[in-house]
């Protein structure tokens, strides 16, 4: 015998609404659970793992050395200045040296002056600089390609072979750390980003030296005397005053990745 | 009266999963957008400034909880939470994309797309549906089949979802998929699209809620149980 339609509907409603209630509670429970996980560098460990998994996937899916678009002079947009971490104390540009340190500092660090760098092949391009906060600018940069520097002062390999950064970057130690001279700001790059053919150690912006003409630091500046331009990363990775470049086997600490941001920040 | 099937279980799952997932995407997305004022929309900026910025004149009544409540941030204060916003956004993007993709596949393979795809007469049907829907016209709506406007809305929202997904990818990896960025008019415009579509979803939601309330309990219950009660005048005709 079949139930009256109304009674049949009541029965179905009871069952469905019970399930709906369970689903709502599970949903809210899951969100609360997600939001209250043990902290891992400024974010919950679940989020941290998801960020790392996303990184792994993206590094697998995309060709990491794919060239970024370059622009023409007419495309240059007004500058924006954001962040002075690592450039707050007094600084003497004349005493500045770029330090290159090997893994675990097995070899003596190399020290280069700005003039040493300027004697190396100069590269100039116009690229889009993307800030993690959402804005982007198109600017012209000139300097030494990191890959050119690495060819001359290569990191050691994990295999013990002779290093060849341009052709076999996968055999090198996996990371590069960069620190400001005061070590107050620091970023880490995976080797694919460091060996990207457009990763630049810039000493000029829009045709002007990053240092003022008299050799001092500009008041409102974009970093000087040497800064990193790594177009495949958000602006936060584009260290504004490079003091040390360190080749390393361990994932380097990263200023913003310690504060809940993604370590990878790849674009 | 008789009980009639309306929404299959799969459709109900896609629908009710999408609701909280999209809500989290919008909530975390606003945290990301408001990390910097560069993309502010005039009216919205005023709204949010009034909401979260204590230095702005508060237009909300004093009894309304402010973003800083007893020294603790409450969930709707969305400023200075960029890292948090990104954490949520880059987890829930997977759920949003997968749920949407499975929904579209389901529509395609079950044949359910026939219920929502606009017909060739969609313009005429939509105008008719809007006309019939005017509150002072007491037209008894036939709820068996979606009307022209519903078909347009339910198809459009899928296209919008795809737009959000693609513009999202364009923003997420602009140096890897710059061809896609160019399709949207560049990196900046991809962000604009992404945000405009979000406003689109919010508008859809508002209209949807109003229409669901107007359609009544039987219709809403249909989205939970999958069944509605219908008058069986057809059955009567059969008997007669």
Percent over 90 (pLDDT), chain B:
48
The nearest CA of chain B is from the CA of A119 a distance in Å of 30
Beta-carbon separation of B221 and A232 below 8 A: no
Do B172 and A262 form a contact (C-beta atoms < 8 A)?
no
Scanning every residue of chain B, which has its alpha carbon at the shortest distance from the alpha carbon of A17? B224
Scanning every residue of chain B, which has its alpha carbon at the shortest distance from the alpha carbon of A14? B225
> What pLDDT sits at residue A105?
67
> What pLDDT sits at residue B32?
85
Name the residue among A130, A232, A259 with its Cβ closest to that of B83: A259
Nearest CA among A177, A146, A156, A143 for reference residue A250? A177
Is the predicted ipTM greater than 0.85, yes or no?
yes
Percent over 70 (pLDDT), chain A:
98
**pLDDT above 80: residue A53:** yes
Nearest CA among A89, A86, A115, A85 for reference residue A203? A115
User: Do strands A186-190 and A208-209 pair parallel, antiparallel, or not at all (unpaired)?
Assistant: unpaired
Q: How many CB atoms lie within 10 A of CB A203?
A: 21
A112 vs A115: CA distance, rounded Å: 8
Q: pLDDT confidence of A82, banded at 50, 70, 90?
A: confident
> What pLDDT sits at residue A220?
63
Whether chain A has a CB inside 8 Å of the CB on B131: the answer is no
Which of B103-112, B144-153, B214-223 has the weakest average pLDDT?
B144-153
Whether chain B has a CB inside 8 Å of the CB on A30: the answer is no
Q: pLDDT confidence of B173, banded at 50, 70, 90?
A: very high
Beta-carbon separation of A133 and B176 below 8 A: no
Q: Which residues of A touch B27 (CB under 8 A)?
A: none
Scanning every residue of chain B, which has its alpha carbon at the shortest distance from the alpha carbon of A45? B87
Nearest CA among B139, B180, B174, B179 for reference residue B162? B180
> What pLDDT sits at residue B38?
62
Q: pLDDT confidence of A231, banded at 50, 70, 90?
A: very high
State the residue for tokens 């007669």. Answer: B240
Average pLDDT score over residue span B94-98: 97
> What pLDDT sits at residue B92?
97
> What pLDDT sits at residue A239?
95
A210 vs A110: CA distance, rounded Å: 23
A243 vs A185: CA distance, rounded Å: 10
Whether chain A has a CB inside 8 Å of the CB on B239: the answer is no
Name the residue among B38, B83, B224 with its Cβ closest to that of A16: B224
The nearest CA of chain B is from the CA of A5 a distance in Å of 5
Whether chain A has a CB inside 8 Å of the CB on B55: the answer is no
> What pLDDT sits at residue A3?
72
Q: pLDDT confidence of B147, banded at 50, 70, 90?
A: confident
Q: pLDDT confidence of B133, banded at 50, 70, 90?
A: confident
Mutation pick from B1, B2, B3 vs chain A, by most beta carbons of A within 10 Å, is B3
Name the residue among A16, A50, A128 with its Cβ closest to that of B91: A50
3-class secondary structure, A28: helix
> What pLDDT sits at residue A80?
87
Nearest CA among A71, A74, A94, A197 for reference residue A145? A197
Whether chain A has a CB inside 8 Å of the CB on B98: the answer is no
The nearest CA of chain A is from the CA of B121 a distance in Å of 35
Nearest CA among A209, A195, A180 for reference residue A118? A209
Q: Tens digits of per-residue pLDDT, B47-72?
A: 444 344 433 333 444 444 444 444 44
Do A193 and A230 form a contact (C-beta atoms < 8 A)?
yes
> What pLDDT sits at residue A85?
87
Q: Which residues of A touch B84 (CB under 8 A)?
A: 43, 260
B81 vs B189: CA distance, rounded Å: 23
Average pLDDT score over residue span B209-223: 92
Q: pLDDT confidence of B140, banded at 50, 70, 90?
A: low
Beta-carbon separation of A50 and B226 below 8 A: no
Q: Which residues of A touch B174 (CB under 8 A)?
A: 128, 130, 267
DSSP label of B65: P
> What pLDDT sits at residue B141?
61
Q: Tens digits of per-residue pLDDT, A187-203?
A: 999 999 999 999 999 99
Residue B165 CB burial class (10 angstroms; 0-12, 13-18, ≥19) = middle
Do A102 and A47 form a contact (C-beta atoms < 8 A)?
no
**pLDDT above 90: residue A116:** yes
A45 vs B158: CA distance, rounded Å: 33
Average pLDDT, chain B: 80
Question: What residues contact residue A141 under an 8 Å CB cut-off, 6+ apart?
Answer: A124, A125, A126, A127, A200, A202, A204, A205, A229
Structure-model confidence comparison of residues A154 and B39, the more confident one? A154
Beta-carbon separation of B188 and A136 below 8 A: yes
Which of A38-52, A76-90, A110-124, B15-29 has the weakest average pLDDT?
A76-90
Beta-carbon separation of B173 and A58 below 8 A: yes
Q: Which residues of B touch A130 (CB under 8 A)?
A: 174, 187
Average pLDDT, chain A: 93
> What pLDDT sits at residue B40?
52
> What pLDDT sits at residue B144?
67
Q: pLDDT confidence of B233, banded at 50, 70, 90?
A: low
B185 vs A126: CA distance, rounded Å: 18
Whether chain B has a CB inside 8 Å of the CB on A29: the answer is no
A189 has which bridge partners? A176
**pLDDT above 80: residue A156:** yes
């Amino acid at each position: 015998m079949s139930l009256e339609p109304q009674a049949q509907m009541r029965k179905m409603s009871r069952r469905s609404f019970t399930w709906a209630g369970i689903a709502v509670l599970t949903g809210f429970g899951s969100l609360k659970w997600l939001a209250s996980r043990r902290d891992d560098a400024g974010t919950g460990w679940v989020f941290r793992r998801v960020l790392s998994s996303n990184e792994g996937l993206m590094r697998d899916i995309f060709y990491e050395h794919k060239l970024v678009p370059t622009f023409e002079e007419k495309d240059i947009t007004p500058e924006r200045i954001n962040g002075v971490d690592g450039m707050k104390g007094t600084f003497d540009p004349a005493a500045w040296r770029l330090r290159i340190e090997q893994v675990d500092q097995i070899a003596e660090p190399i020290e280069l002056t700005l003039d040493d760098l300027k004697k190396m092949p100069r590269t100039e391009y116009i690229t889009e600089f993307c800030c993690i906060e959402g804005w982007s600018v198109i600017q012209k940069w000139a300097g030494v390609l990191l890959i050119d520097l690495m060819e001359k002062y290569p990191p050691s390999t994990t295999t013990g072979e002779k290093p060849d950064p341009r052709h076999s970057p996968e055999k090198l130690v996996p990371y590069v750390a960069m620190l400001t001279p005061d070590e107050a700001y620091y970023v880490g790059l995976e080797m694919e980003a460091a060996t990207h053919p457009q990763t630049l150690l810039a000493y000029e912006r829009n045709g002007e030296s990053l240092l003022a003409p008299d050799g001092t630091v500009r008041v409102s500046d974009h970093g000087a005397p040497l800064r990193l331009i790594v177009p495949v990363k958000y602006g936060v990775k584009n260290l504004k005053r490079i003091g040390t470049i360190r080749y390393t086997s361990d994932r380097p600490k990263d200023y913003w990745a310690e504060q809940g941001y993604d370590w990878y920040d790849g674009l | 009266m008789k009980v009639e099937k309306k929404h299959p279980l799969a459709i109900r799952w896609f629908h009710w999963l999408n609701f909280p997932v999209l809500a989290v995407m919008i909530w975390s997305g606003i945290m990301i957008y408001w990390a910097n004022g560069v993309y502010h929309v005039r009216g919205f900026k005023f709204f949010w400034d009034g909401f979260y910025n204590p230095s702005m004149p508060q237009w909300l009544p004093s009894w309304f909880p402010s973003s800083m409540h007893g020294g603790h941030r409450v969930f709707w204060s969305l400023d200075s939470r960029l890292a948090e916003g990104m954490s949520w956004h880059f987890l829930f993007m997977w759920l949003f994309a997968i749920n949407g993709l499975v929904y579209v596949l389901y529509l395609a393979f079950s044949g359910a797309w026939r219920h929502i795809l606009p017909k060739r007469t969609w313009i005429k049907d939509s105008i008719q549906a809007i006309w019939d829907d005017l509150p002072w016209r007491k037209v008894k709506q036939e709820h068996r089949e979606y009307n022209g406007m519903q078909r347009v809305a339910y198809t459009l929202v899928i296209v919008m979802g795809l737009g959000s997904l693609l513009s999202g990818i364009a923003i997420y990896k602009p140096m890897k998929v710059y061809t896609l960025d160019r399709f949207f008019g560049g990196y900046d415009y991809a962000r604009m699209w992404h945000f405009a579509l979000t406003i689109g979803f919010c508008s859809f939601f508002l209209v949807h809620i109003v229409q669901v309330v107007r359609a009544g309990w039987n219709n809403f219950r249909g989205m939970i149980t999958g069944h509605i009660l219908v008058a069986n005048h057809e059955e009567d005709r059969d008997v007669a």
